[in-house]
Structure 1
Amino acid sequence: MKQLPIPPVSTALKDREEVAERLLRVSLRRSFDPERDVDWDAPFVAGKWFWPPELVSLYDTPIWREMDEERRQRLAQVESGALASIGIWFEVVVMQLLLRHIYDRPVTSGHVRYALTEIADECRHSTMFARFLAKSGTPVYPISPFTQNLTRVFKSCSTTACSLIFTLLCEEVIDWMQRLTFPDERVQPLVREVTRIHVVEEARHVHYAREELRRQMAEAGRWELRLTRTVTGELGRAFARSFVNPEVYPGCGIDRQRALAQSRASEHRREVLRRSARRLVVFLEDVGAFDPRARRLWCAAGLR
């Protein structure tokens, strides 16, 4: 896994309307309709992976070395389905957070128009993931009831800054993995096409969220900064726990507790998570979203 250099983070605040108008122009040029732009009728290719093996949670663990190629590919297939499941949940939460963000803003502004455009993107992504799940035949692994109910409170009460950090955490970690997936010729063509579409459209979502978070942090008072830093730490811990549903292991005939222990102890897995979050960590440090406790929680979660 080649690690690309991280460009320096700009500290200048950009005009909100200029950012939105530029993103609207890009959206007009580079948007997809998965119902028409993905070949859903094409059969899966025998022997191809559903997810790069290096990104599978048990890669290079003792369990992985005990498995034959067929079982490894099955685990990769089930984990790709689990990621699609959590992706739909995430997109639904983001859409609600965006609607809260623009609820009392000028409806004719470019900033609001772009948020509505992004919501339309996320709707298509959700239906795309759902269709992939149906075609792949993998089980649907819902988020845990505890996380589901905790998020119900979060999406109703969070500040804009906390909402944007949640958005960026989920988008940037998965985006890093998908950027390794869609060019990988070992991977199923359908998976490559789904991840390519998601990467192209999420790039502008990330830009929108980063610019708005920079503005929110620059304008925040002392209490809001303290709250944001506290929530940042908790989001890292919750994300790491939810990223791979532990039920994928018994679903593949693997002992759940043994698999969890080996995945959490895997230095390779921790390196994957660190790399996937590296750009985001640099950005969040730059805008002041970390305090010492948040850094410790992200380190414990393997994200830094």
Structure 2
Amino acid sequence: MVAPTAPGDRSSREEFAQRLLKGSAKLSYAPIVDIDWDAPLDPDKFFLPPEVVTLYGTPEWDAMTRAQQIELSRQELVNILSAGIWFENILNQALLRDLMHKNPTASATHYALTELGDETRHMVMFGKTIARIGGIPVRPKLVQRMFINALPLAFRGSVLWSAALVGEEIFDALQRQIMEDPDLQPIVQRLMRIHVTEEARHIQFARDGLRKMVPTMPRYRKVLLANVHGLGGPFYRMLFTLPIQYHRAGLDGADMRRVARQNPHFHAMCVTSFASLSAFFAEVGLMGRLGRRWWRRAGFL
């Protein structure tokens, strides 16, 4: 993996992109062959660590059998992987549109194309994992898919990198908690290791882009960017507690969503997942008052 960029890093965008390209050449994966898709699933192992499941620590969780807890972890993993597929779709569309305006000979362009390749492989990896564990993808409704397809029109420059960080860093923080759990299905551990390794480069590319853009950004744009990312808070709160995942596990969807949203363990997980990104936004001057309020009200601060 590539070392994180420090606040004092003065390398140019091109130099930084060249470092990432070298890192990609040394360590990248092809999930089709790098994951053993025929390996059996262990019926007594979780698909997410219990501590990451939204109902963990509640009386409702304690009343469930281990088999029921494992099934809920399976459904919540399917929900997370489904969301990952749709977000990678948005990011890929936005990157392609942005590249239409870039120099095709530049190293930064070449790394953006490398990231596109990584993300398409991740979509395949997520889809194959959902199928392998016997899940049904959680698909957005038609009107939501129309909105998703429109988002890349607005994602360019600093907005693109800010959106990429909101979409990637929270999942990345969760995956780092997940992948070391010995009680986890091996296929899930392998998936998380691959994704964390390659997403580390994507996150640093986005961070470097913002770090270099903010000092010369017009004030109105900086104020807008420092607050609009706060919409990620209520979005993630909604995403992590979708009723369908509880319903598919044989529970009352609306009731369990309420329980999860009041669960202090779930709130602590949300705070942990946002901590690194929150610190970065504050460091580069992109944590506005309204944005902070939205993240706090959603339970991420």
TM range (shorter): over 0.9
Please state how far the C-alpha of 1:145 moved relative to its aligned partner: 4.7
Counterpart CA distance in 1 for 2:85 and 2:5 is 32
Counterpart AA for 2:288? D
Please state how far the C-alpha of 1:133 moved relative to its aligned partner: 0.8
Counterpart CA distance in 2 for 1:15 and 1:45 is 48
1:268 aligns with 2:284: no
2:248 match: 251
1:185 aligns with 2:182: yes
1:15 match: 12
- What per-residue deviation string (whole Å, max 9, x for no partner) do you get for residues 135-174 of structure 1? 1111211135554343333221234222212211221111
Change (3 A) 1:146 1:223: farther
Change (3 A) 1:281 1:190: same
1:287 aligns with 2:284: yes
1:134 match: 131
Question: Over aligned residues, Cα RMSD in angstroms?
Answer: 1.7
1:60 aligns with 2:65: no
Counterpart CA distance in 2 for 1:30 and 1:12 is 23
Percent of aligned pairs sharing the same letter: 34
Instruction: Please tell me whether the aligned partners of residues 13 and 215 of structure 1 are also in contact (alpha carbons under 8 angstroms).
Output: no
- What per-residue deviation string (whole Å, max 9, x for no partner) do you get for residues 62-117 of structure 1? 21122111100000011111111111111111111222232211101100000000
Counterpart AA for 1:228? L
Partner SS state of residue 274, structure 1: helix
1:113 aligns with 2:110: yes
Instruction: Please tell me whether the aligned partners of residues 168 and 206 of structure 1 are also in contact (alpha carbons under 8 angstroms).
Output: yes
2:208 match: 211
Counterpart CA distance in 2 for 1:95 and 1:291 is 27
- The correspondence for 2:75, drawn from 75, 78, 86, is 78
Instruction: Please tell me whether the aligned partners of residues 241 and 257 of structure 2 are also in contact (alpha carbons under 8 angstroms).
Output: no
Counterpart CA distance in 2 for 1:204 and 1:107 is 20
- What per-residue deviation string (whole Å, max 9, x for no partner) do you get for residues 260-291 of structure 1? 11111111111101011101000011112221
2:193 match: 196
Counterpart CA distance in 1 for 2:10 and 2:96 is 23
Please state how far the C-alpha of 1:11 moved relative to its aligned partner: 4.6
1:47 aligns with 2:44: yes
Q: Normalising by structure 1, what TM-score? A: 0.93
1:3 match: none
Most deviating of 169-178 and 141-150: 141-150
Please state how far the C-alpha of 1:230 moved relative to its aligned partner: 3.1
2:234 match: 237
1:4 match: none
Partner SS state of residue 44, structure 1: coil
Counterpart CA distance in 1 for 2:23 and 2:9 is 22
| Structure 2 unaligned spans of 5+ | none
Change (3 A) 1:112 1:118: same
- What per-residue deviation string (whole Å, max 9, x for no partner) do you get for residues 191-236 of structure 1? 1001110011111011101000112222210221122123112233
Counterpart CA distance in 2 for 1:266 and 1:204 is 33
Counterpart AA for 2:66? E
Partner SS state of residue 243, structure 2: coil
Task: Give the number of aligned pairs.
Answer: 298
Counterpart CA distance in 2 for 1:244 and 1:13 is 41
- The correspondence for 1:27, drawn from 4, 24, 29, is 24
Counterpart CA distance in 1 for 2:222 and 2:70 is 44
Counterpart CA distance in 2 for 1:114 and 1:223 is 29
